[in-house]
Amino acid sequence: MKKQVFCGVFALALAVTGCGVQKKEAASDIVPENRQELTILHMDADIEGFDSFISQAEKDLGIEIHIEKCPANADNRQAKIATLLTSGDDSVDLITVNDEMISEFKHKGFLLPLEDTVMTEETAANFPQEYLKEICMSDGHIFSVPFKMDIMAFWVNQELLDQAGLDRLSCLSDLEILQKKLQNTGKYAYGDAWEISYIYNSISEYVDFFGGDYTDWTDPKTREAAEYMKRMLDTGMISEENLIDQHDQLNEKFINGQYGCMFMYTGALSTFQNTGVYRKDKIHMAPFPEFDEKVTNIATWQYVLNKNSDHKEAALKFLQYVSGYEASKNYGQLTKMCPARLDVIEDKNFDLDGIEMIRQYLKDYKLKARPLCADSIEAVSSMGTEFQKYVLGQKTEAEIFCRGTELHRPVLQKSIVLMLFLF
């Protein structure tokens, strides 16, 4: 996949600021400090190889780096970071956040913009462009530096496919063949995580597959995606258990051979490796079945700079380092995680389990950010609640999403109240 260069849209976004936007602190406002130390609240603190990466960064930069571990629980993590930023706490300089968190925090004046100091046009051109614009930017500024990327991959259990006489799942009709083979066996053709806060990932993915628009539920393609997901449950292709499953439960059941295939981020690779099921004749990544659109979602973990930091000079030095090619490659090699820089992924000298299929995804599929908004956590949960009612038949087609009228109107560009007229 050829690297995309920043287009005029991005350059324009950097030059334009909205009326009434709070003045952002500029690089020229940063006073160099004598003490070169840094504290990072980091999600990867317990990952194998992370300590080695930080030790190398300390050596290369001449900075003493202190690591605090992010809470593993999503709700606790969100609460901790929100409290830290809203209280003006200066004890942590850099924070690692996911898509949902940056989508909320980037609008609120807690973070220092980075387009002039770190994510320059030259550096930013090496990251997925649409993703940067949709997730990392606000008011013409870039507020985060992606360092670890998850690509929504298609995983198959080759043993179950072989039993059904299928080499691969090339189209949706192949899923139906697999479903018939597994009927009444306690196993299912397809597995997913449809718990109310996780089903959003699947909704946005299938809407993209069918060529719809998540923010426009009058679009016939969006309707088609929703109907297909409901049909999967109605026909027994997917288990009702998935309505309460999050990613951990889904992965466990997939490992145990309960599902023939699933969509899951590439970050699941280490889980499959650790349980000994990752191999070509068992669980592995595969090309997607044919849909209307060749597209897949991506998500990242990112660094953000606390505006109240007392060590901005050291923080910027670190961010410049980790956003660069060599450090990004080193991070991926040491932690066995997929880096966010596309040129590192495409480097034939970069080695990672599953990297060839990941490169194939980059070649064959458009990488899209999930549609998130300033109140993403609330919006995701409310959408999940309403969609579950729909797939379970607890709401008629005419009633679907009517509850989402007031929940979603303030947070999406196009009113999801129009879902009422979808069916």
Of the pLDDT bands very low, low, confident and very high (cuts 50, 70, 90), residue 304 is very high
Q: Note the Cα 371 to chain centre separation in Å.
A: 10
Q: How far apart are CA 208 and CA 401, in angstroms?
A: 19
Per-residue pLDDT of 148-203, as tens digits, reads 999 999 999 999 999 999 999 999 999 999 999 999 999 999 999 999 999 999 99
Assign 2 a pLDDT band (cuts: 50, 70, 90). very low
% of the chain beyond a pLDDT of 90 = 77
Helix axes 325-335, 50-61, angle to 10 degrees: 150
Mean pLDDT throughout 230-235?
Answer: 95
User: How far from each other are the two terminal CA atoms of the chain, in whole angstroms?
Assistant: 39
Position 5 scores a pLDDT of 34
Tell me the average pLDDT across 264-283.
95
| Residue 30 clears pLDDT 60, i.e. is over it | no
Q: What is the pLDDT of residues 60-74, one digit of tens each?
A: 999 999 999 999 888
Greater model confidence, 40 or 75: 40
Q: What's the token pair of residue 251?
A: 């992965």
Residue with tokens 């806060």: 197
Report the alpha-carbon distance of residue 380 to residue 373 in Å, rounded: 9
pLDDT higher than 60, residue 372: yes
Q: Name the pairing type of β-strands 283-286 and 145-157.
A: antiparallel
Alpha helices in 213-370 (DSSP H): 220-234, 247-255, 269-274, 312-322, 325-335, 342-345, 355-364
The predicted pLDDT at position 17 comes to: 37
pLDDT tens-place string over residues 98-152: 999 999 999 999 999 999 999 999 999 999 999 999 999 999 999 999 999 999 9
For position 376, what pLDDT does the model report? 75
| 408 and 417 Cβ atoms separated by less than 8 Å | yes
Instruction: Answer yes or no: is pLDDT of 34 > 80.
Output: no
Q: Which residue has the higher pLDDT, 259 or 18?
A: 259
Cα–Cα distance measured from residue 272 to residue 250, given in angstroms and rounded to the nearest whole number: 12
What pLDDT score does 417 carry? 36
Q: How confident is the model at residue 377 (pLDDT cuts 50, 70, 90)?
A: confident
The predicted pLDDT at position 400 comes to: 55
3-state SS, residue 51: helix
Q: Give me the domains of the chain, ranges plus CATH numbers.
A: 8-143+299-364 (3.40.190.10), 151-296 (3.40.190.10)
In angstroms, the CA 330 to CA 335 distance is 8
For the ranges 356-365, 374-383, 385-394, which has the lowest average pLDDT?
374-383
What is the Cα–Cα distance from 248 to 260, expressed in whole angstroms?
Answer: 17
**235-250, pLDDT tens digit by residue?**
999 999 999 999 999 9
pLDDT value for 287: 97
Length of the chain: 423
Q: Looking at per-residue confidence, does 367 or 376 come out higher?
A: 367
What's residue 421's pLDDT? 35
pLDDT for residue 399: 58
- Of 340, 304, 329, residue with least CA distance to 136: 304
How many whole angstroms separate alpha carbon 76 and alpha carbon 69?
12
Distance CA 217, CA 220 (A): 8
Angle, alpha carbons 384-386-389 (nearest 5°): 105
3-state secondary structure of 397: coil
